[in-house]
Amino acid sequence: MANAAEGRRQVLESVYSVIALVFILVACVELCDASTVVDVYRLIQYDISGVPFGSRVASLNHHAGSSLFAPGSDLSRTVVILPLRELNETFIREYIEQGKPLGGLLLLLPRIFRSENSETVGGYGDSSDKENMKKLLVDLERRLIHASINYPVYFAFEDEDLDTVLADIKRNDAAGQPATATTGGYKLIVTSPTPKKLASPTITNIQGWLPGLKADGDSNQLPTIAIVASYDTFGAAPALSVGSDSNGSGVVALLEIARLFSILYSNPNTRGKYNILFGLTSGGPYNYNGTQKWLRSFDQRLRESIDYAICLNSLGSGEKGLWVHVSKPPENAYVKQIYEGLSNVAEELGLEVGLKHKKINVSNSRVAWEHEQFSRLRVTAATLSGLSVAPNLLENAGGLSDNREFVSEAAVVQSVKLVAESLARHIYGQQGKDVNIFADNSSLAVNPSYIRSWLDLLSRTPRVAPFLSKDNAFIMALKKELANHVVEVNLQHDVLDGIFTFYDSTVNTLQIYQVASVTFDLLLLLVLGSYLITLFSFLVITTRGVDDLISLFRRPPSRKVKSV
């Protein structure tokens, strides 16, 4: 008898341990079952000389709210979902610039700003609406970049799922019951570790040569013309900064010019007496830091052999005309020569080219144009740009609003013709003559499909320098493409100016859960309890009779507790 009891106890114990194991295993099962999961792009987080800018937090776990909140209400535990078109001045001033507490901010961008669908041009809204949106976004981006924000800020693109969620939230808010832990609604969750500093971000410059025809002696004796474009971008969301115009258009123009001249230089009869140096520089938004380091790496002889440099910048919006920015006075002979060369060709193409002179202030660390880095080293240089005024630091560097939708391929084609033609006339000594070297339909014609495909590629590739590794696929592609046309292509790696510090965690996934409130759960418990009690009474009455039920309650309470 005792043995049997012992054996049974052992069996029971083993059963218990198996059950415990099963429960532990089951408890580990955690499934992602959110109603909506979207990619979100975090506002950039960076320091300039230790001063914090951008959004300082990445993780998010709060209830959602819409723009319909009551003024003056406490939003420190609410994530406000805000479509770009509903953004108003008061909100920006209070929550972005004055730093009122907020649980988080999710900004919804219209679909046109999505870089993935860059090929599907048009078919969305009218152009004035588009332009308005762009203006709004440019303004918003400027203020976000220069503010230091103590809550997470994310960007997402409008889509059906988010629209329905937002409509629900708005209905809730309009009914005067904003979502908190007790009333239910939606919960937005981004799980992300604390953003970490990027260790010594690198910048990579790419250079290549088209050597001229040497008469006798070293080719280094020949004068050099440099064509330069900076390829990296900066924007409020690093993962969305594709910079189709600034400076994707410049990069495309440079590649096309390299292609055209490589055809000319491959034939000894048409090889000019100038070396052409092509440079794709990085660090453009940071005072052309990469250009500076690239130029510093040249030896004195090479630097002195540079006749002049033309920097290409934001050519895709230049339908209305282009500007030649110089830092030497227009009376200077070299500047005059460059400008006249360009404006002569521009006249034939029906383009307007203006000249803008901006003196360099050596004590000011701000370098607004790429050519200023050349000028500081006493090399004649000019920037050809669609922009008429010098941008501020970190602005106009290919941010959120700068995408394929707003870049005109035709403008890039025109600029390429302009630069290539004036360059060719200078190299072959045909200034002022009415020759058309790169005429349409000739073998030297500008290839619009080449420009289009590269513009499309650039418009899909975010290129914020600190987030590009040394052997990034895109940099390798640029190098390979340049190597197809020119020789001696090599990469130069350097470290970005130390005053800039960047933080990681640029893309995250946002999970949106529809949650029930605590009151709902309490109510449900109440309903269920009364249901079970009713069921109990009903069963007792039907199977044993009313008297039994009444007698149940007369018994000691311990029996009752056991039975329920």
**# residues contacting another protein (CB under 8 A):** 31
Interface pattern 189-218 for another protein (x via CB under 8 A):
x-----------------------------
Q: Which of residues 502-531 bind another protein (CB under 8 A)?
A: 513-516, 518, 521, 524-525, 528-529, 531
3-class DSSP assignment, residue 87: coil
CB of 518 vs another protein, minimal distance in Å: 6
Strands (E), 476-529: 487-495, 500-502, 507-515
Amino acid making up residue 403:
N
CB of 548 vs another protein, minimal distance in Å: 9
Does 33 bind another protein (CB under 8 A)? Our answer is yes
CA dihedral sign, ordered 503, 505, 237, 281: positive
3-class DSSP assignment, residue 324: strand
Alpha-carbon distance of 211 to 209, in angstroms, equals 6
* Nearest residue (CB) to another protein, 389 versus 527: 527
Which of 544, 546, 550, 555 binds another protein (CB under 8 A)? It is 544
CB of 369 vs another protein, minimal distance in Å: 52
Q: Tokens for 437?
A: 């070297």
Does 135 bind another protein (CB under 8 A)? Our answer is no
Q: What angle do CA 519, 523, 524 make, to 5 degrees?
A: 115
Which of 24, 29, 175, 215 binds another protein (CB under 8 A)? It is 29
Does 561 bind another protein (CB under 8 A)? Our answer is no
Does 26 bind another protein (CB under 8 A)? Our answer is yes
* Nearest residue (CB) to another protein, 35 versus 266: 35
CA-nearest of 53, 48, 470, 499 to 282 is: 470
By DSSP bridging, strand 306-313 and strand 78-83 are unpaired
By DSSP bridging, strand 45-48 and strand 353-357 are unpaired
Does 35 bind another protein (CB under 8 A)? Our answer is yes
Does 564 bind another protein (CB under 8 A)? Our answer is yes
Amino acid making up residue 441:
N
Which of 37, 487, 532, 550 binds another protein (CB under 8 A)? It is 532
Interface pattern 175-194 for another protein (x via CB under 8 A):
------x--x--x-x-----
CB under 8 Å to 394, separation ≥6 — which residues? 145, 234, 285, 286
3-class DSSP assignment, residue 412: helix
Does 11 bind another protein (CB under 8 A)? Our answer is no
* Nearest residue (CB) to another protein, 347 versus 521: 521
CA-nearest of 283, 235, 200 to 54 is: 235
**Residue ranges in contact with another protein by CB under 8 A:** 26, 29, 31, 33-35, 181, 184, 187, 189, 513-516, 518, 521, 524-525, 528-529, 531-532, 535-537, 539-540, 543-544, 563-564
